Structure 1
Amino acid sequence: MVTERENQFYLGGEWQEFADATHLPVVDPASERVVGHLAAGDAHHVDIAVRAARKAFPAFSQSPVSERSALLGRMHSLLKERAESFAEALVMEMGAAISFARASQVPFAAEHIRVQMETLEKYRFVTIDRHTATAKEAIGVCALITPWNWPLYQITAKVAPAIAAGCTIVLKPSELSPYSALLFAQLMHDAGTPPGVFNLVNGTGESVGSALASHPDVDMVSITGSTRAGVLVAQAAAPTVKRVVQELGGKSPNILLDDADFSEAVAKGVLAGMRNVGQSCSAPTRMLVPAHRLAEVEELASTTARAISVGAPLEPATNMGPIANRAQFERVQIMIQAGIDDGAKLLCGGLGRPAGLETGFFTQPTIFSEVTSDMRIAREEIFGPVLSIMPYTDEEEAIAIANDTVYGLGAHVQSSDPERARRIAARLRAGQVHINYPAWDGAAAFGGYKRSGNGREYGVYGLEEYLETKSILGY
């Protein structure tokens, strides 16, 4: 099913093939083999998609909430029914370990849809205060630009609230991990989405992404990607004064206070930082620990990292597959070398592939200690399984180190004292703070301070990004 659609775009309710489309190779990161060739669009294909979305908008934006909720329900059911197909696509396109795809990538994607169904049931689109009504209305045609690291999860995090709001959509997934998006487009078709409400154009950011961002008939762009990509989208969108929601890079701190249970907090911190091969913008990749307990932390962290099983993603015992693509693999190697060159203490891992793996974009789980805030590995987003342990002398210094970054997406605090943890959390300049490794919450607002972005996703906060506010006086 996936490969027969790779030469097509989903436009106006049907799959269409264009003889003039260029093609891009799709590479399996575990084998480095080309497994397919993807049709890549341009401004012409974007025009067709936007016209279809614009045509569908008047009717869909006025559709009853019950109809939109029912559509979300069908989407949710189909995603759960087809979960294994999506998991297998994620393995092929980005090298996700099959166990992780089944346990996290696909279920969390489904949860974004379920949360929007729940949000929609309670949401009041019109409120009245004396003689003034405040109406929340669909913003219009939305361009959704999604990344390669959580391909399906980021699609549903954007598509579900856009549908709930009554918006129409043009999706541009990453050309590096496109197969789950093709499966999702078919799911939208099979769920009975009205023609033009959902459209898919594959291609590069330079071609399709920039055409969408600058298109005069696109009312909003939501992008998840690098800070560099987010800046380019905002610049392209500025002349048409459209809304831009950006979920961008991160360099999240994880403060272990001296009263934390280190035997648990260190191990969980390593695994959180290296989850999804470290390819998460909110990954807690800076572990801040009391200086007098540094040796203890080093031992616990190294033991945890060395126990991670790196290998073929379809093997049930594999915890960590390859980096998702060659460019990112090379970036991670450069940053490991930078850590060595800057004088950080290499505890485990390092350059090159793990022993026994001669091909594939496999990387050793790597931990540096004695990292200081002036080092590249402490300042730049690496997006790989590389953790920096940073010692601090007291609480004030821990907070200062945590906030000493241009990013502000996520942060973690570990403590046995809830009040102390809350006090620290209140002083961290980040959009989402986790205390003592809580369960993931698909309704919690997600987004960043500073260069980590603008706007919020998930739950009611994500829904409201797709809504305009209208005041009606004398109501």
Structure 2
Amino acid sequence: MSFSLLDVRDRLGVQPGRMFIGGRWVDWDGPRFDQVSPATNEVMTSFAEAGRRGVDMAVAAARRAFDEGPWPRMAAQDRKRMLQRIIERIYDAEEELAQLQTLDNGIPYHFSRSSRLSGKACADIFDHYAGWIDKITGETYPQFSDASNFHYMSFREPVGVAGLITAWNAPLAMFAMKAGPALACGCTVVLKPSENTNLAATRLAQILAESDLPEGVFNFVTGAGETGAALAGHPGVDKVSFTGSAAVGERIANASGLNMKRLSLELGGKSAGIVFPQARSVAGAATTLLGLCSTFLSGQVCSTSSRALVHVSVLDEFVHHATEQVRNVRFGNPFDAATTSAPMITRAHLERVLGFVESGKAEGATLAFGGDRPGGELANGNWVNPAMFVGVTNDMRIAREEIFGPVLSVIPFETEEEAIRIANDSEYGLAGTLWTADVTQAFRVARAIRSGSVGINGYASIPNAPMGGVRRSGIGREGGWPAIEAFTELKTINFNLDI
């Protein structure tokens, strides 16, 4: 018998979603859409499809708040105090936020409560950026010549109205990673979550709505592609920050060029995890790389190393330990402590992942295990058994395209130079990893890999370090000071002291 999540939905008091625009909750009279749980495909509730009309309203409110309101000109101490009160409210609501996030995307509740995607982590990210508010400084410059008595200084000013579009795999963390620095810098915000995951984001929006933020500083709209396109292309938006697929990122870049919007795009990845014979533990590398694809969000993370480049001398050992690891995977009710893995976010995405499995087999790779659907009580959800291919070459689709699911492609190599060449032979460059106990080799290879970040003997992201990619993996960086730079413009003032 299939399990149901409707009892959790009802216990949390989930209501039809509203939008927050210009300091008021909007009872939308336009079209709506249903959000379903990927674990069961049960309807959780409905949300407003903002479309162009809703986006126009939200941007107008944000525009007024930026051009006429106090927020961009507020003293650093006052802005910081406002955000600190919001942070405390998020900490207080972290358990509820985690439950809503699990209903959103099916991430096992114990991960939603305690991982880097948790409600507490969301508050921590806001706290990190609140700490920057009174440290956003410019510079003074030495006089270049004695031809004049001009003196130069620079200031960092908020970029303006920021359109923030988050992805579905980390609704809480991405809300904070975008809204945190934008608000800290004095920008006004229109935030749109993924159409697949609105529950946790709506609860966060409620917390901000109940704060002391001036009217129009924070605005929240919901919707699918039409709404996102309207926000990305809106002439009243000065900055767009988007996390999602490279294909959508390209469309946003094209739309943003019409009025030269500032852009931060955190897009896809096809990261390589290189396992050298010098690895301290091949078993640890295999367990980690296959675990990232098979547990947690089941490979639906852009930084997942979905290409395992394994030296031929340790290939059999790697495959053995990866096969052992997959035995620990458990599907089921995401609120059950025994559940290790999330379903695919939508039925369409499930079919896409299964299509890649068929493609790998057709191109001659060997399917070591998985790649099919479980039945029984899981039949109603978007579940797929973790798959691993061996005998993969880097020209196959499964090695080149972002699958964004529980599929690991194992590619053998013989020399360090060959491993680097294969790792860099990709349209993407987001978050590579390598496994070796040789420190000199680790730094040599890490510097040679063309990627926004590289993990040595593991990988993790934190809010105070930059994260982002090269090539089709994106533009700009999130995290730490680079995110402050991304939401500010640098103004230079030169002062002639001879007048």
Summarize deviations over 1:81-112 as a string: whole Å, max 9, x none. 11111111111121111011111221332232
SS in 1 for 2:273: strand
Pick from 266, 272, 276: which aligns with 1:247? 266
Task: Report the counterpart of residue 128 of structure 1 in structure 2.
Answer: 140
Summarize deviations over 1:419-455 as a string: whole Å, max 9, x none. 2101100011110111111553221111110011101
Shift of 1:296: 0.9
> Conserved in 2, the CA contact under 8 Å of 1:443 and 1:460?
yes
Change over 3 Å in CA distance of 1:318–1:229 after alignment to 2: same
Shift of 1:154: 1.0
Task: Report the counterpart of residue 25 of structure 2 in structure 1.
Answer: 15
Instruction: Please state if 1:183 is matched with 2:203.
Output: yes
Change over 3 Å in CA distance of 1:132–1:2 after alignment to 2: farther
Instruction: Please state if 1:464 is matched with 2:485.
Output: yes
The one-letter code matched in structure 1 to 2:309 is: L
Pick from 122, 127, 149: which aligns with 1:109? 122
> Conserved in 1, the CA contact under 8 Å of 2:442 and 2:456?
yes
Instruction: Please state if 1:440 is matched with 2:461.
Output: yes
> Conserved in 2, the CA contact under 8 Å of 1:221 and 1:242?
yes
> Conserved in 2, the CA contact under 8 Å of 1:94 and 1:325?
no
The one-letter code matched in structure 2 to 1:244 is: L
Pick from 106, 118, 136: which aligns with 1:95? 106
Task: Report the counterpart of residue 388 of structure 2 in structure 1.
Answer: 367
SS in 1 for 2:332: coil
Pick from 335, 340, 352: which aligns with 2:361? 340
> Conserved in 1, the CA contact under 8 Å of 2:271 and 2:306?
yes
Q: Measure, in 2, the Cα distance between the counterparts of 1:253 and 1:370.
A: 15
Summarize deviations over 1:205-241 as a string: whole Å, max 9, x none. 2x21111122111101111110111111111111111
Task: Report the counterpart of residue 47 of structure 2 in structure 1.
Answer: 38
Q: Measure, in 2, the Cα distance between the counterparts of 1:284 and 1:327.
A: 23
Pick from 324, 338, 350: which aligns with 2:345? 324
Q: Measure, in 1, the Cα distance between the counterparts of 2:28 and 2:33.
A: 14
Q: Measure, in 1, the Cα distance between the counterparts of 2:393 and 2:124.
A: 38
SS in 2 for 1:112: helix
SS in 1 for 2:331: coil
> Conserved in 1, the CA contact under 8 Å of 2:163 and 2:239?
yes
The one-letter code matched in structure 1 to 2:24 is: E
Summarize deviations over 1:278-317 as a string: whole Å, max 9, x none. 1111111111110122111110111112211122101111
Instruction: Please state if 1:80 is matched with 2:101.
Output: no
SS in 2 for 1:144: strand
Task: Report the counterpart of residue 429 of structure 2 in structure 1.
Answer: 408
Instruction: Please state if 1:27 is matched with 2:36.
Output: yes
Q: Measure, in 2, the Cα distance between the counterparts of 1:354 and 1:469.
A: 57
Task: Report the counterpart of residue 230 of structure 1 in structure 2.
Answer: 249
> Conserved in 2, the CA contact under 8 Å of 1:2 and 1:179?
no
SS in 2 for 1:322: coil
Task: Report the counterpart of residue 164 of structure 1 in structure 2.
Answer: 184
Summarize deviations over 1:8-48 as a string: whole Å, max 9, x none. 210011101122x1011111111112221111111111111
Task: Report the counterpart of residue 277 of structure 2 in structure 1.
Answer: 258
Q: Measure, in 2, the Cα distance between the counterparts of 1:175 and 1:413.
A: 35
Task: Report the counterpart of residue 235 of structure 2 in structure 1.
Answer: 216
Summarize deviations over 1:304-343 as a string: whole Å, max 9, x none. 1221112210111111121121121111111111111112
Pick from 407, 411, 434: which aligns with 1:390? 411
Q: Measure, in 2, the Cα distance between the counterparts of 1:36 and 1:5.
A: 5
Q: Measure, in 2, the Cα distance between the counterparts of 1:291 and 1:384.
A: 26
The one-letter code matched in structure 1 to 2:370 is: G
Summarize deviations over 1:97-148 as a string: whole Å, max 9, x none. 1011111221332232122123334332x32123210111001001001111
The one-letter code matched in structure 1 to 2:51 is: D
Larger displacement relative to structure 2 (332-341 or 156-165): 332-341
Change over 3 Å in CA distance of 1:439–1:9 after alignment to 2: closer
Q: Measure, in 1, the Cα distance between the counterparts of 2:164 and 2:420.
A: 35
> Conserved in 2, the CA contact under 8 Å of 1:2 and 1:182?
no
Change over 3 Å in CA distance of 1:218–1:28 after alignment to 2: same
Instruction: Please state if 1:148 is matched with 2:168.
Output: yes
Pick from 437, 445, 452: which aligns with 1:424? 445
Shift of 1:259: 0.7
The one-letter code matched in structure 1 to 2:104 is: E
Q: Measure, in 2, the Cα distance between the counterparts of 1:462 and 1:99.
A: 29
Change over 3 Å in CA distance of 1:201–1:2 after alignment to 2: farther
Change over 3 Å in CA distance of 1:354–1:268 after alignment to 2: farther
Shift of 1:267: 0.9
Shift of 1:356: 5.7
The one-letter code matched in structure 2 to 1:129 is: Y
Q: Measure, in 2, the Cα distance between the counterparts of 1:298 and 1:222.
A: 39
Pick from 23, 48, 65: which aligns with 1:56? 65
When normalised by structure 1's length, the TM-score is 0.96
Instruction: Please state if 1:276 is matched with 2:297.
Output: yes
> Conserved in 2, the CA contact under 8 Å of 1:313 and 1:321?
yes
Q: Measure, in 1, the Cα distance between the counterparts of 2:307 and 2:47.
A: 37
Structure 1 residue runs of 5 or longer lacking an equivalent are none
Q: Measure, in 1, the Cα distance between the counterparts of 2:472 and 2:94.
A: 34
SS in 2 for 1:426: helix
Q: Which runs of structure 1 show a deviation greater than 6 angstroms over 4 or more consecutive aligned residues?
A: none
Shift of 1:351: 1.9
